[in-house]
Structure 1
Amino acid sequence: MALIAELPGPGQVLVCGASRGIGLALCQRLLARSDVERVFAVSRRATASQALQTLAQQHPGRLVLLDCDARDESALADLASALRQQCSHLHLVLCTLGVLHEAPARPEKSLAQLDLASLQAAFLSNSFAPILLLKHLAPLLRQHPATFAALSARVGSIGDNHLGGWYSYRASKAALNQLLRTASIELRRLNPLSTVLMLHPGTTDTDLSQPFQANVPAERLFEPAFTAERLLDLVARHGPAHNGAFLAWDGQPIEW
């Protein structure tokens, strides 16, 4: 199956949040494919990541490491400028950015635990960074088949919220969904071959989920490699006809 719908040849791919967890697993899976020409691995300390350096040595010329703190818009502008010097277009952007319990963000259990610092940290990483990444990369996603897929979360669904709690995380993922849904409409006008997807990866064994794994059945706790494979399968199966969709790892749509 092709990397994305209607892709005529090998793809140029960017993974943001590439140095660990799902992002690293995506880089590994992508580099194992013959229809991927090059992967741009972006994270705050990509060039210092031993795992990414090892991958780069295993795939000479196919993995480019780029340092960028996506929470800083000037850094995103610099990233886009650096990319334009190396490629004329991107076919696939995978954004795995997200924070749940990295201070000052935290998974609040009650209103009393809410504070401005936690809210700002959650929205900065979970909402603002992904949409600003798309803003600055948008010129590289025009006039050819292109997909921008970001990790959202089922708990960002307002209709599916029956338990409460996790105020900042829920709200910031709901905001991400609205921002990307809105962007999908604009991008479709600019490029009818574009697709924007919001993907719930399921509970994956990463630093983000580690404190909350105790009550997750073993068969529902996924290894990053499995999650990466499922996400790439979703991307391959959902093209422009599914633009703006919010999907779970198993392909089922999630209510807003």
Structure 2
Amino acid sequence: MGLQSFPQDFRAAVWGASGGIGAAFVKHLSEDPACGEIVALSRRPLEGDARSITYDPASESSIQKAAEEAAAGQPLHLVIVATGTLHGEGYSPEKALRQLTGDAFLEVMRINALLPALIAKASVNHLDKERSVFAALSARVGSISDNRLGGWHSYRASKAALNMLLRNIAIEVARKNRNAVIAGIHPGTVDTSLSEPFQGNVPEGKLFTPEYSTGEMLKVLDSLQPEQSGNCFDYSGKRIEF
């Protein structure tokens, strides 16, 4: 069964469509008979049924141009930002404060918080006025009230910042588009290259395939109402406290 809350032939855009989670979102949407068009945005061209658009995530003008090309003068009903980083060249989650470096912190913050905010800046004016959802991948470890273990300073801080940005964006968007939903969505621990180095401590049954996680997240996004805008939810639909 496909998404039920969006109109027939709804239009969807997935940013970060070349990643494990992004590609799975595109696959699910391509199999939904109600989805009229899927736009897959990534750093490199993609093959498949979706309309592929490339953009430079380090360039605000490139993001703006890509968003306008994705909308193509028509409203978008579902925009998903599936970008993010946890580790990369020269950085990984810090286990202690002594491991924190300025360069790594700024890079993680740029990718996990600033990039989704710039995508939102370029996209929210294209959201449909009757029913639309803008969602960005967040994480439970971005919750300040739920933090009992510490560590992972850059990643935690970037997701907490993302949650605040999404709340701000939701408040602003509601003034002009009261039917839009802006939300963070937590995918759980998904078997992708992002989580691969850290899968050893995942409880049995809690390491999800991209197909399963994105399918559950789409169910949650399908169910969200405007009064829930500005919040963060996990893959089961449970609200995550800030």
Query: Which TM-score band applies after superposition, normalised by the shorter structure?
Result: over 0.9
CA distance, structure 1, for counterparts of residue 139 and residue 149 of structure 2: 15
Aligned to 1:170: 156
Letter in 1 for 2:146: D
Aligned to 2:200: 214
Aligned to 1:13: 12
Which of 40, 53, 58 is the matching residue for 1:66?
53
CA distance, structure 1, for counterparts of residue 176 and residue 91 of structure 2: 36
What is the TM-score with the length of structure 2 in the denominator? 0.95
Greater shift in the superposed pair: 66-75 or 120-129: 66-75
Task: Kindly indicate whether the alpha-carbon contact (under 8 Å) linking 1:197 and 1:244 is maintained by their aligned counterparts in 2.
Answer: yes
What is the TM-score with the length of structure 1 in the denominator? 0.90
Task: Give SS of 1:241's match.
Answer: helix
CA distance, structure 2, for counterparts of residue 80 and residue 118 of structure 1: 28
1:4 to partner: Cα distance: 6.3
Task: Give SS of 1:22's match.
Answer: helix
Which of 174, 183, 187 is the matching residue for 2:169?
183
**Structure 2 residue 145 is matched with structure 1 residue 146:** no
Greater shift in the superposed pair: 218-227 or 72-81: 72-81
Letter in 1 for 2:21: I
Aligned to 2:40: 41
1:139 to partner: Cα distance: 1.7
Aligned to 1:203: 189
1:138 to partner: Cα distance: 1.6
1:135 to partner: Cα distance: 0.3
Aligned to 2:24: 25
1:142 to partner: Cα distance: 4.7
CA RMSD of aligned residues (A): 1.4
**Structure 2 residue 213 is matched with structure 1 residue 245:** no
Aligned length: 242
Q: % of aligned pairs identical?
A: 40
Show the 5 A alignment for 1:38-117.
38-45=37-44, 47=45, 52-53=46-47, 56=48, 59=49, 63-84=50-71, 86-117=72-103
CA distance, structure 1, for counterparts of residue 22 and residue 166 of structure 2: 19
Task: Kindly indicate whether the alpha-carbon contact (under 8 Å) linking 1:142 and 1:190 is maintained by their aligned counterparts in 2.
Answer: no
After superposing on structure 2, the runs of 4+ consecutive aligned residues of structure 1 that deviate more than 6 Å are none
Letter in 2 for 1:128: L
